[in-house]
């Protein structure tokens, strides 16, 4: 809680700075001004639609990415042949920023939600895949040996041993992936969308409502944080065998 | 029971400068016997364990278990490792269940190893001694012909180690399994074994053999007996 107190203190100091300012006619709104605009927007209701739209897009794209990246990552770690096949694709595609795909996305999926899912998918896929793969290849030799000696079958080995061993790595990937997905989505919405928080910022920029632009930014930050936090909560629920650290929120 | 027939092994390609780790190594273990290999660290004991288990293939020579030549790891030879070899994400029950679906047998072996009250615990929540007992319970559940214990007590502190040696010896003797114990601890070897083989390294060579005729069931107190002391002396003299 303490870190949020210092955070609030900094905001108050900025507000005091604005109060002390002789010329009130700046482009930048004061913290209080932004806060009032935020309250206003939340009351008007339209912003909720943008929030819901962006959230739906990020969740769907993210789930699509996870459901493909996790199995592929596990299998890549399990099978050398499979990894050799997949690696060139991953290596060449990974450095391309998701927003560079926007023209292709629009050609493939039009301007609707399909493009957004695709961009989110690309943002989330690589961190999840890479971390899962890393987990899968770091299985200690002793576990592999135990599985061999006890003649644990291949399917059981992959689903009960390799997957569970990799889970902490997978969650690292998911946490990085959700952040990447969220950022990619907002960038995509800034460029080519008719709804969502990115669009909300863009339209208010054109209307010169900088207070609303900042409202949009605050919401993006808060929702991004909430998404990452919910994964941390899920992580603790799913992996009770790990020692619980005091604060792993970063 | 177990027969090592002219095993040759070295790591890497070609002939290593220091000579082979295993050079025409032979060893026989009879049914129901608990045999210890005692030798200094780095003499190739763990390599030998890995060959018997089937994790490593010898350059030449054969490992024969009950008349069958070993070509891959299998349920007939289970290794209890030096390090923790339990699946950390499975409970005590889960660690057993992945080996066998037979819940009656699982209960039987958990009872035997005094773990019945801890079925829902994760390995992290168990003491070092309990973890080893679970490794043993899991090994017995697979019903192997042969159990290999590679320095199983090395990570435990002294008090727990002695108590655990007593417990595990009792369980093993009652199960009638053939066991190969690999250790560098002379007392441990004398206390647990029917026969001790003293070895030295590079290449792995048998220096001497010693029969241990201490009666069963053995208690830790036997370590203070005259008989034990003289066995210890004869081992120390041969080393």
Domain boundaries, chain A: 34-238
Question: In angstroms, what separates the C-alpha of A234 from chain B's closest C-alpha?
Answer: 16
Q: Chain B within 8 Å of A142 (Cβ-Cβ)?
A: yes
Give the pLDDT band (50/70/90) at residue A248: very low
Lowest average pLDDT, out of A30-34, A172-176, A242-246, B202-206, goes to A242-246
Across residues A90-106, what is the average pLDDT? 92
- With tokens 């992996």, the residue in question is A239
Residue of A nearest to B56 (CA): A145
Q: Chain A within 8 Å of B209 (Cβ-Cβ)?
A: no
Between the alpha carbon of residue A193 and those of residues A19, A27, A64, the distances in Å are: 37, 26, 20
Contact A240, B122 (CB under 8 A): yes
Q: Do B72 and A148 touch (CB under 8 A)?
A: yes
Which pLDDT score is estimated for B122? Answer: 95
Q: Do A150 and B88 touch (CB under 8 A)?
A: no
- Find chain A residues with C-beta within 8 A of B123's C-beta: 241
Across residues A19-46, what is the average pLDDT? 85
Interval B166-197: pLDDT, tens: 999 999 988 889 999 999 889 999 999 999 99
Q: Do A143 and B87 touch (CB under 8 A)?
A: yes
Across residues B69-92, what is the average pLDDT? 92
pLDDT of A101 over the 50 cut: yes
Which pLDDT score is estimated for B195? Answer: 93
- Single out the residue of A245, A152, A129, A228 nearest to residue A183, CA to CA: A228
- Find chain A residues with C-beta within 8 A of B142's C-beta: 149-150
Question: In angstroms, what separates the C-alpha of A139 from chain B's closest C-alpha?
Answer: 11
Q: Which class does domain A34-238 fall in?
A: mainly alpha
- Find chain B residues with C-beta within 8 A of A241's C-beta: 88-90, 122-124
Q: Chain B within 8 Å of A145 (Cβ-Cβ)?
A: yes
B121 vs B123: CA distance, rounded Å:
6
Give the pLDDT band (50/70/90) at residue B157: confident
Give the pLDDT band (50/70/90) at residue A92: very high
Which pLDDT score is estimated for B137? Answer: 94
Which pLDDT score is estimated for B77? Answer: 92
What number of other Cβ atoms are within 10 A of residue A171's Cβ? 23
CB pairs under 8 A between A and B: 60
Q: Which residue has the higher pLDDT, A23 or B34?
A: B34
Which pLDDT score is estimated for A21? Answer: 79
- Find chain A residues with C-beta within 8 A of B83's C-beta: 142
Burial B220-234, CB ≥16 within 10 A → b, else e: eeebeeeebeebeee
Q: Chain B within 8 Å of A154 (Cβ-Cβ)?
A: no
Give the pLDDT band (50/70/90) at residue A163: very high
Interval A171-198: pLDDT, tens: 999 999 999 999 999 999 988 788 999 9
pLDDT of A250 over the 80 cut: no
Residue of A nearest to B139 (CA): A150
A100 vs A169: CA distance, rounded Å:
28
The CA-to-CA distance between both ends of chain B, in Å, stands at: 27
Which pLDDT score is estimated for A249? Answer: 44
Which pLDDT score is estimated for A148? Answer: 94
> What is the spatial order of strands in the sheet that B146-150 belongs to?
B77-80, B146-150, B178-183, B34-38, B195-200, B205-211
Q: Helix (H, G, I), strand (E, B), or coil: what is residue A249? A: coil
Which pLDDT score is estimated for A45? Answer: 86
Mean pLDDT in chain B? 89
- Find chain A residues with C-beta within 8 A of B147's C-beta: none
Q: Do B79 and A145 touch (CB under 8 A)?
A: yes
Q: Which residue has the higher pLDDT, B203 or B122?
A: B122
ipTM of the complex: 0.89
Give the pLDDT band (50/70/90) at residue B72: very high
Which pLDDT score is estimated for A169? Answer: 96
Across residues A119-134, what is the average pLDDT? 96
Across residues B21-43, what is the average pLDDT? 89
Q: Do A160 and B122 touch (CB under 8 A)?
A: no
Between the alpha carbon of residue B197 and those of residues A248, B19, B213, the distances in Å are: 51, 22, 14
* Helix ranges restricted to H, A150-249: 154-156, 163-192, 197-206, 210-238
Q: Chain A within 8 Å of B56 (Cβ-Cβ)?
A: no
Which pLDDT score is estimated for A24? Answer: 67
Percent of chain B predicted with pLDDT > 70? 97
In sequence order, the β-bridge partners of residue B149 are B80, B181
Q: List the single residue in B54, B89, B99 with the smallest CB-CB distance to A150.
A: B99
Chain B, residues 57-76, CB within 8 A of chain A, namely 72-75
Which pLDDT score is estimated for B16? Answer: 66
- Find chain A residues with C-beta within 8 A of B54's C-beta: 148-149
C-alpha A178, offset from chain centre: 2
- Single out the residue of A189, A176, A68 nearest to residue A127, CA to CA: A176
Q: List the single residue in B54, B81, B98 with the smallest CB-CB distance to A142.
A: B81
Question: In angstroms, what separates the C-alpha of B99 from chain A's closest C-alpha?
Answer: 7
Mean pLDDT in chain A? 91
- Single out the residue of A222, A211, A217 nearest to residue A197, CA to CA: A217
pLDDT of A201 over the 80 cut: yes
Which residues, in sequence order, are CB contacts of B215 under 8 Å at separation 6+? Answer: none
Percent of chain B predicted with pLDDT > 90? 49
């Amino acid at each position: 809680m303490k870190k949020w107190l210092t955070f609030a203190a900094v905001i108050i100091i900025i507000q005091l700075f604005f109060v002390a300012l002789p010329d009130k006619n700046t482009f930048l709104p004061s913290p209080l001004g932004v806060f009032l605009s935020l309250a206003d927007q939340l009351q008007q209701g339209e912003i909720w639609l943008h929030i819901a739209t962006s959230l739906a897009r990020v969740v769907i794209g993210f789930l699509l990415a996870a459901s493909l990246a996790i199995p592929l990552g596990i299998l890549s770690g399990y099978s050398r042949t499979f990894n050799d096949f997949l690696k060139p694709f991953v290596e060449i595609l990974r450095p391309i920023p998701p927003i560079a795909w926007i023209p292709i996305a629009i050609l493939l999926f039009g301007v609707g939600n399909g493009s957004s899912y695709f961009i989110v998918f690309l943002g989330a896929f690589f961190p999840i895949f890479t971390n899962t793969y890393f987990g899968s290849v770091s299985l200690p030799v002793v576990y592999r040996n135990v599985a061999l000696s006890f003649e644990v079958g291949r399917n059981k080995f992959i689903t009960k041993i390799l997957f569970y061993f990799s889970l902490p790595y997978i969650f690292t990937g998911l946490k990085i992936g959700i952040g990447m997905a969220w950022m990619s989505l907002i960038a995509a919405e800034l460029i080519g969308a008719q709804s969502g928080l990115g669009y909300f910022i863009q339209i208010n920029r054109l209307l010169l409502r900088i207070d609303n632009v900042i409202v949009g930014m605050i919401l993006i930050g808060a929702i991004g944080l909430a998404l990452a936090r919910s994964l941390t909560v899920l992580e603790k629920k799913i992996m009770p065998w790990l020692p619980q650290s005091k604060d792993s929120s970063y | 029971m177990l027969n090592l027939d002219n095993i040759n092994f070295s790591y890497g390609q070609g002939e290593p400068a220091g000579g082979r780790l295993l050079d025409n190594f032979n060893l026989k273990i009879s049914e129901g016997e608990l045999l210890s290999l005692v030798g200094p660290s780095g003499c190739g004991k763990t390599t030998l364990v890995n060959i018997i288990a089937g994790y490593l293939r010898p350059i030449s020579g054969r490992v024969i278990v009950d008349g069958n030549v070993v070509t891959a790891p299998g349920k007939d030879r289970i290794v209890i490792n030096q390090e923790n070899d339990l699946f950390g994400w499975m409970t005590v029950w889960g660690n057993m269940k992945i080996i066998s679906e037979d819940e009656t047998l699982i209960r039987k072996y958990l009872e035997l190893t005094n773990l019945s009250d801890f079925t829902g615990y994760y390995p992290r929540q168990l003491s070092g001694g309990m973890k080893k007992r679970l490794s043993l319970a899991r090994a017995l559940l697979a019903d192997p012909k042969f159990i290999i214990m590679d320095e199983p007590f090395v990570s435990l502190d002294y008090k727990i180690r002695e108590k655990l040696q007593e417990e595990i010896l009792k369980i093993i003797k009652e199960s009638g399994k053939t066991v190969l114990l690999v250790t560098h601890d002379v007392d441990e070897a004398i206390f647990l074994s029917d026969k001790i083989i003293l070895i030295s390294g590079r290449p792995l060579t048998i220096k001497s053999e010693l029969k241990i005729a201490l009666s069963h069931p053995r208690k830790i107190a036997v370590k203070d007996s005259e008989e034990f002391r003289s066995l210890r002396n004869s081992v120390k003299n041969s080393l």
